[in-house]
A and B are shown apart, each in its own frame.
Chain A
Amino acid sequence: MLQLSPNLIEEASKELYIRALKALPPDIKSGFQALSDRETNETAKGILSTMIRNISVAEETDNLLCQDTGIPIYNVWIGRDVVFDGAAIKSAIRKGCERATREYPLRSSVVHPITRKNEHTSCGLEVPVIHFDFVDTPEYVRLEMVPKGSGSENNSYLRMAIPAEGLAAVKTFVIDSVIASGGKTCPPTIVGVGVGGTSDLCVALAKKAATRALGSVCADAEGAALERELTHAVNHLGIGPQGLGGDGTAFAVHVEMAATHITMNPVAVNMQCHSARRASAEFSADGIHYGY
């Protein structure tokens, strides 16, 4: 039995927020290199090279990669044979998030949706966003932190297409969403596409797709084929890094899917900016192990 201590979760939640903001995961760094190697537009090549330089400057100066501390999202996966107090874990995550903000200090980017009041804690109604899921691995707990930047999040889209419109509606919607977003999402992006489900599930799937590691592939074969096709397609639109033209519009298009209703054909798009930040921690009897 693994005992999950709220104190460890609080510590990790604080640490992960700061780590995520400072160091990009290795798969994203490789993604930059791949785009830069393929880029044929000189302006775009220069922009990518500055983005790559920024990653080094952040590491050398121990600074944040981007000023946008985002909306904090925490994803928790809990395996078998783990003893935990769910309510205490939720409150520990919130406390860790608040402590990172106050103690570092980080810019709190979170406000009340109507009064716009900022509590300077990165917390508020229903924020941080916390998702729990359960997996079939013994004595396993994984906590992931994603600071979701607003430039990309402000360009999120849902369309409740109908069956008669077929897969063409999905493809067209993705292409038009990427075009409509232009440079506002801070491209190159990871384009997350949700296909199927209910409206809310479809949007959640798009977010899951946008925050997946580069190199990971949709578990469904049809979804994986759609990922390949759409990745090729968006990188022929000419939007380019920062929307200033070029080949590198997206690192990849990721697809996540769910079954849907006989009358429905929903598609959602959520994008992750080039500062595709995330950090994670795994917990075992001997403590916390940090990674991406």
Chain B
Amino acid sequence: MVHYTFQMPVDEAQVRQLRINDTVTLEQTLFGIRDATQIHLFDRGRKTKFDLRGHAVIHTAPNVKKVPVSAQYPAGYAAVCVGTTTSDRMERFTRPLMTQYGVRLIVGKGGMREDSKAAFGELGGAYLAIIGGTAALETTWIEQIEDVDMDDLNPESLWRFRIRQFGPLLVGMDSHGGSLYDTVRAHTAAQRDKVLAELGVGR
């Protein structure tokens, strides 16, 4: 288990170093993305002004407050509470995020499935698990909302956050076919019959 600090963006070689159970702290830039953002990007042909190559995206839709544009609030938004949503719903968008936009890292909770794992292996990416529901803590890692795109979808806009010591995040899926979620699923499947037998099912 190794800890990495990544100044974003990163290249393929950096991401390929990662193995499940390693930890990563992100610095500088993180993009926030959600269901509606990706439905509009990949199903409705919209484009973003942001260059996401080598970057990390987090599955989020933050609580924000509209404020006058200033040096501290260049996008006119103050972050109120920034957290993470369940990644599984956005499974089918991992591959196009990587092939069309060059995204390297996905930050989320609950894990993703086979096609994401395959895309990480083929294209050089990884899934970084954050602890869902700990948004008060996560918000302290966000320095600023630097910019926003597709804001008609608010709160599911495409956000650019400036971050500081964002993590540690746990490598849940890597580019070598590793997935902590697969390990847990296999263990749970093995436990199921034992647990049901103890409950008197099947007697």
- Residues on A facing B (Cβ under 8 Å): 43, 47, 50-51, 53-54, 57-58, 61, 63-69, 104-109, 116, 118, 120, 149-151, 154, 168, 171-172, 175-176, 179, 182-186, 229-230, 233-234, 236-245, 273-275
CA distance A254 to B88 in the complex (A): 26
Q: How far is the CB of A228 from chain B (nearest CB, A)?
A: 11
What count of chain B residues pass the 8 Å CB interface test?
A: 52
Q: Which residue, of A65, A154, A185, A244, has the highest number of chain B Cβ atoms within 10 A?
A: A244
Residues of B within 8 A of A243 (CB): 110-111, 181, 184
The complex places the Cα of A186 from the Cα of B88 at a distance, in Å, of 12
Can you list 25 A-B pairs with a CB-CB distance of less than 8 A?
A53-B134, A54-B137, A66-B132, A67-B63, A67-B135, A105-B63, A107-B64, A108-B155, A149-B133, A168-B199, A171-B196, A172-B201, A175-B192, A179-B188, A182-B181, A184-B88, A186-B110, A186-B133, A233-B198, A233-B199, A237-B191, A238-B188, A244-B172, A245-B184, A273-B133
Most chain A Cβ neighbours within 10 Å, of B60, B62, B82, B109: B109
Residue interface bits B148-161, CB-to-A below 8 A is 1, else 0? 00000011000000
- Given that A65-B136, A151-B86, A182-B111 are known contacts, is A242 also in contact with B129, CB under 8 Å in the complex? yes
Given contacts A67-B81, A175-B192, A245-B187, 9 further A-B contacts (CB under 8 A): A43-B170, A50-B134, A54-B137, A66-B134, A107-B81, A186-B132, A186-B133, A233-B199, A242-B110
Chain A residue numbers with a CB within 8 Å of B185 are 182
Q: Are B133 and A65 in contact (CB under 8 A)?
A: yes
Docked Cα-Cα span, A51 to B110, in Å, equals 15
Closest to B64 in A: A107
- Whether A168 contacts B202 in the complex (CB less than 8 A), given A66-B135, A182-B184, comes out as yes
- Chain A residue numbers with a CB within 8 Å of B65 are 105
Quick check: B110 and A151 within 8 Å, CB to CB?
Answer: yes
- A54 B184 Cβ-Cβ under 8 A: no
- Are A244 and B180 in contact, CB atoms less than 8 angstroms apart? yes
The 3 residue pairs across chains A and B that have the minimum distance between CB atoms:
A67-B83, A58-B136, A54-B134
